């Protein structure tokens, strides 16, 4: 039996940023603007996860067939070193950390045309000495899917998450809010239809409710977001998979007020409550060599993506920005290292081979009106990251990994450029019903 469909699961800080709370600018009350340097630092937790099995290219739906229940459990434990815990431009502080992750997944068929899926996951990074930088994430979802006909499926998904992230300046001191704890509730509906043997259309949407920790003297960061997304996927039989998608999101803050173009609050009367509109267009491609080609075993997958995102506010445009994002990556299988034939046959990572994964990304964000602290120019940021990960299958269920992460941020605002290098080694264990 194949693995469960795997989704990208960033670390807790990414969840916090998804709620619109960049770490470095809370002191100014900017919950939508600056890309946090922690966003630029690719999470080692994401790098440490077991390699997801690439989902097969979607094809025209076959007649519904009842499937056996599936169940999976995954555990990851690792330790590493971060040479710039607080993402400082100077006077970096390094520390060792522990990273742990636990995940439970299940899927059952309620008939030939109905499926119920669920997942619960918890993840934490704990530093040995600088414990105020610890991060925690817990999330779960339940999803129901129904096959309307041979080509169309629809369903609903209800997700909950809890995030606890401390906000620190480059010296490791707390920003005025001290911490960011958010409970997010995100129900959504979705529909997928095969337009042909190679083209699939998707649409989903729903509200997102964020309940953030409150602080005396600070505007509440609670918000409600209405989100909708549409996508087209193309999967010809010769190994290329393409996807184009557009996402629209309108966020309404319960109490947070706007700022003028200089970043100042209204006085004596506050400015109107902040609303924002975010629009994202993304193109992605994945190429997999055919199994009968020489390169299929050594270089099974290549990936690339480009995204363009804009954000506008409902007032003076202080939050407005546009961002270009480029991503590239690839997987490769090197020497066969599994100790016995059974392990080589059952190991998910390249059939017993040393598996290599490399990923990189570049983001260019420019603000339309917000001035840099130095004055005379608008704020701009360039964020860059590279991750390299090696996985060694030990048995059909156990694997060892080593991961390295380099992140760099450059901005025209003094004090917020930085370079960060971290690495991690550990063990992963995964069980799936029906697997060896």
Cis peptide, bond prior to residue 54, ω within 30 of zero: no
> What is the value of pTM for the model shown?
0.79
Report the CATH number that the domain containing residue 381 is assigned in CATH. Answer: 2.40.160
Q: Which domain holds residue 222?
A: 12-432
For residue 341, the surrounding DSSP H or E stretch is: helix 341-346
At 247 the pLDDT is 97
Cα separation, 320 vs 364, whole angstroms: 14
- Give me 416's structure tokens: 């917020």
Exposure string over 367-392, b if 16+ CB within 10 A, otherwise e: bbbbbeeeeeeebbbbbbbbbbbbbb
- Give me 128's structure tokens: 């040995």
Give the other-Cβ count within 10 Å of 54's Cβ: 16
Q: How many domains does the chain have?
A: 1
* Domain assignment of residue 311, yes or no: yes
At 156 the pLDDT is 96
Helix, strand or coil, per DSSP, at residue 263: coil
* Domain assignment of residue 5, yes or no: no
At 403 the pLDDT is 96
* Domain assignment of residue 119, yes or no: yes
**pLDDT digit of tens for each residue in the chain (436 aa)?**
333 333 333 333 333 334 443 333 332 333 333 333 333 333 333 333 333 333 333 444 444 455 678 999 999 999 999 998 888 887 788 999 999 999 999 999 988 889 999 999 999 999 999 888 888 999 999 999 999 999 999 999 999 999 887 665 554 555 544 557 889 999 999 999 999 989 999 999 999 999 988 877 777 888 999 999 999 999 887 778 999 999 999 999 988 888 777 777 776 677 888 899 999 999 999 987 766 555 555 566 889 999 999 999 888 888 899 999 999 998 876 654 444 444 444 444 344 578 889 999 999 999 888 877 765 688 888 999 999 999 999 998 999 999 999 999 888 877 778 899 999 999 999 999 865 5
* Domain assignment of residue 21, yes or no: yes
Cα separation, 172 vs 190, whole angstroms: 42
* Domain assignment of residue 300, yes or no: yes
Residue 410 is given by DSSP the state E
* Domain assignment of residue 3, yes or no: no
Cα separation, 191 vs 202, whole angstroms: 6
At 319 the pLDDT is 85
* Domain assignment of residue 4, yes or no: no
* Domain assignment of residue 2, yes or no: no
């Amino acid at each position: 039996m194949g693995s469960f469909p795997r989704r990208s699961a960033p670390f807790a800080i990414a969840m916090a940023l998804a709620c619109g709370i960049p770490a470095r600018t809370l002191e100014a009350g900017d919950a939508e603007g600056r890309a946090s340097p922690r966003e630029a630092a690719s999470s080692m937790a994401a790098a440490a996860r077991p390699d997801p099995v690439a989902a097969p290219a979607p094809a025209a739906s076959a007649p519904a067939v009842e499937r056996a229940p599936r169940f999976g459990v995954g555990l990851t434990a690792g330790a590493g070193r971060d040479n710039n815990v607080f993402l400082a431009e100077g006077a970096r502080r390094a520390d060792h950390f522990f990273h742990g992750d636990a995940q439970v997944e299940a899927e059952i068929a309620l008939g030939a045309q109905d499926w119920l899926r669920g997942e619960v996951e918890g993840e934490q990074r704990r530093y040995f000495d600088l414990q105020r930088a610890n991060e925690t994430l817990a999330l779960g979802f339940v999803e129901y899917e129904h096959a309307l006909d041979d080509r169309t499926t629809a369903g609903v998904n209800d997700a909950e998450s809890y995030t606890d992230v401390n906000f620190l300046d480059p010296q490791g001191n707390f920003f005025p809010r001290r911490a960011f704890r958010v409970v997010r509730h995100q129900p959504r509906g979705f529909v997928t239809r095969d337009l042909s043997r190679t083209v699939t259309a998707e649409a989903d949407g729903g509200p997102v409710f964020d309940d953030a920790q409150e602080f005396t003297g600070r505007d509440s960061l609670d918000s409600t977001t209405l989100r909708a997304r549409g996508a087209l996927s193309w999967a010809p039989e010769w190994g290329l998979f393409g996807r184009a998608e557009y996402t629209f999101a309108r966020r309404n803050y319960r109490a947070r007020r706007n700022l003028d173009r200089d970043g100042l609050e209204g006085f004596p009367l506050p400015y109107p409550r902040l609303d924002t509109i975010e629009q994202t267009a993304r193109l992605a491609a994945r190429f997999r060599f055919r199994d009968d080609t020489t390169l299929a075993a050594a270089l099974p997958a290549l990936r690339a993506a480009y995204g363009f995102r804009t954000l506008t506010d409902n007032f003076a445009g202080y939050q407005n920005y546009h961002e270009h994002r480029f991503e590239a990556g690839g997987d490769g299988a090197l020497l066969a290292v599994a100790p016995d034939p059974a392990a080589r046959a059952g190991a998910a990572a390249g059939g017993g081979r040393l598996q290599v994964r490399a990923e990189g990304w570049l983001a260019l964000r420019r603000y339309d009106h917000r001035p840099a602290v130095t004055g005379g120019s608008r704020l701009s940021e360039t964020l860059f990251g590279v991750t390299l990960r090696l996985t060694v299958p030990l048995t059909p269920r156990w694997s060892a990994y080593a991961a390295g992460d380099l992140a760099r941020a450059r901005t025209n605002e003094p004090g917020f450029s930085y370079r960060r290098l971290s690495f991690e080694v550990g063990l992963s264990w995964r069980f799936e019903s029906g697997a060896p």
